[in-house]
Structure 1
């Protein structure tokens, strides 16, 4: 073994981690519990009422809101925060249902666009009222206007701090 490796192993460990306080631990666990329940509730409702998981619904929403109801696959993966492989699998399932179609990108022969079909748009329009109703019931109806405002501020602070920067980051949508 090299001396450098031995020296690295015998060096004193770095500073003690900043462990969560009891209150921070309580809040963290409550957050994990609530988001897990919310994700499960939304997924079950969309599976039951629209025959799709919540992630697929999110992809259809993004396509519906895009100009011409189409996005480059890489952009769709980036905005969904998923790997290109996972997106390709999801789009294949959506294509099989007739809700999405892939198109070659005219400006880049290597790229592809995902296009929301009329049938996919109709499915989304049919699923949206039940989904929004559940989101309202599960989340917003339980909070005061002040709590909604504060929650929005808090989530923006967290998201801003986690948003990847730079081209060297190990980003799922680049895999």
Structure 2
């Protein structure tokens, strides 16, 4: 049996998870109100803008913390809205490439100022420059530990059982 968390570890864990939940809630409200986007849809669009190129669904799955089926569903919604396009990779017909459209770029540009304002007000305003630097270093180390595991896209898919075998 694993040793229990120390009181300081428990306090830090709960403070982190509550802060993330509150920040995500505020961000989700802002994205929905200003752009009609869910957080994961914004994340997909932002990753495509940042990449500056088409990304495969696998690359998106590795970068967005979301299930494969959920990501496929969100990509379909974004495509129906005209914010992305999807097509087969000419180098690998098994892969699907995702590109952001001009309308998708415009939507990101529309919601980004409000997004930045929410993040700045809730996360960065109460912190000093040293706090931001220390938090960035700490979270980078934690993220590196988490990302050292195989990417979720490499995990085998769980198959539903369809009756007795």
**C-alpha deviation, 1:96, in angstroms:** 1.2
Name structure 1 gaps, 5 residues minimum: 1-15
Deviations 1:116-144 (A, max 9, x none): 00111111111111101111111111100
Contact kept in structure 2, 1:42 and 1:135, CA below 8 Å: yes
In the aligned structure 2, how far is the partner of 1:54 from the partner of 1:109?
A: 30
Contact kept in structure 1, 2:84 and 2:100, CA below 8 Å: yes
**C-alpha deviation, 1:109, in angstroms:** 1.0
Deviations 1:20-43 (A, max 9, x none): 122222221111111111111111
Task: Give the aligned partner of residue 107 of structure 2.
Answer: 123
**C-alpha deviation, 1:104, in angstroms:** 1.3
Large movers: runs of 4+ above 4 Å: none
Contact kept in structure 1, 2:34 and 2:110, CA below 8 Å: no
Q: Aligned to 2:91, which of 97, 104, 107?
A: 107
Task: Give the aligned partner of residue 87 of structure 1.
Answer: 71
**C-alpha deviation, 1:160, in angstroms:** 1.3
- The answer on 1:22 being equivalent to 2:21 is no
Task: Give the aligned partner of residue 124 of structure 2.
Answer: 140
Task: Give the aligned partner of residue 23 of structure 2.
Answer: 38
Aligned Cα root-mean-square deviation (Å): 1.4
**C-alpha deviation, 1:67, in angstroms:** 3.2
More displaced, 147-156 or 58-67? 58-67
Task: Give the aligned partner of residue 153 of structure 2.
Answer: 173
Task: Give the aligned partner of residue 151 of structure 1.
Answer: 135
Name structure 2 gaps, 5 residues minimum: 158-165
Q: TM-score, normalised by structure 2?
A: 0.88
Contact kept in structure 2, 1:82 and 1:173, CA below 8 Å: no
- The answer on 1:47 being equivalent to 2:43 is no
Aligned length: 155
**C-alpha deviation, 1:84, in angstroms:** 2.2
